[in-house]
Amino acid sequence: MRRMERRIQLEQVLPEKIEDRSFEIISEELMERFPGRTFRPEEEPVIKRVIHTTADFDYADNLVFSEGAVKKALEALREGAVIVTDTNMGRAGINKRSLERLGSEVLCFMADEDVAETAKQQGTTRAAASMDKAASLGRDCIFAVGNAPTALVRLYELIREGRLAPRLIIGVPVGFVNVVSSKELILSLQDTPYIVARGRKRRKQRGSCHLQCADLPACERAVERQLPQIFKGKRT
């Protein structure tokens, strides 16, 4: 008996239109999954970008923004705040040239010998020790923590000790040990801007940074047009 062939239809999209089409699909599915729900205009591009990067619509519920976090992040970047990551993979996914135009840079101290030595002496993790090193810079910092809950815990301690005042904390580590509680610590901070993925989840795709910095004009633009460029994922 002849086996019936399954017909698979492919959507024909020009290469330069793939990302646009992806966002059209995301917008359509968001309306289907969350009928009648609206997002704050400045937060919606971030939520859609995270969904674009992960193909996971749970982030429409999981991402928590402190009041004015997006606006404050944009201001910090315009003013040359440096981005500190807890993985070199995350650092690699950030557009260095765009940051240079803003007088900024992206740093990761995880592989530094002095960080490894400090962690060994103090009996802590490199991620925690790298946050101490960032605090010693004396510069405005945006922290993008995508791997280590201990980095978030140490940031919380440094803030409470008055040794650090981050311009923004992005908290999206995944896992089981202290992941949820470390995020809740950040969420409890009253005067620190944050974007946190509540719960255990982060990205599904290894090797793809949630938030990738790209082009940001110094002049005035609508926030909803800027955010996809500032924190831009690679997935299409």
* 180-223 tens-digit pLDDT: 999 999 999 999 999 999 988 744 433 333 333 333 333 333 33
82, containing H or E segment = strand 82-85
142, containing H or E segment = strand 141-145
C-alpha closest to that of 143 among 81, 87, 103, 85: 85
Mean pLDDT, the chain, rounded, equals 85
Active site residue 52: yes
Asked if 210 and 172 touch (Cβ cutoff 8 Å), the reply is yes
pLDDT score of 111 more than 90: yes
In degrees rounded to 5, what are phi and psi of residue 142?
Answer: -110, 125
pLDDT of residue 231: 39
Q: What's the CA gap between 203 and 59, in Å, rounded? A: 10
pLDDT of residue 219: 30
pLDDT score of 138 more than 50: yes
pLDDT score of 106 more than 50: yes
The CATH number assigned to the domain with range 63-219 reads 3.40.50.10230
pLDDT of residue 210: 37
Asked if 46 and 69 touch (Cβ cutoff 8 Å), the reply is no
If pLDDT is split at 50, 70 and 90, which confidence band does 175 have? confident
Tokens of 1: 């008996």
pLDDT score of 127 more than 90: yes
pTM for the complete prediction?
A: 0.80
The pLDDT tens digits of the residues spanning 2-47 come to: 666 678 888 888 999 999 999 999 999 999 999 989 999 999 999 9
> Which residue among the candidates 44, 46, 49, 52 is catalytic per the annotation?
52
- Cα atoms in the Cβ-side hemisphere of radius 13 Å centred on 236: 9
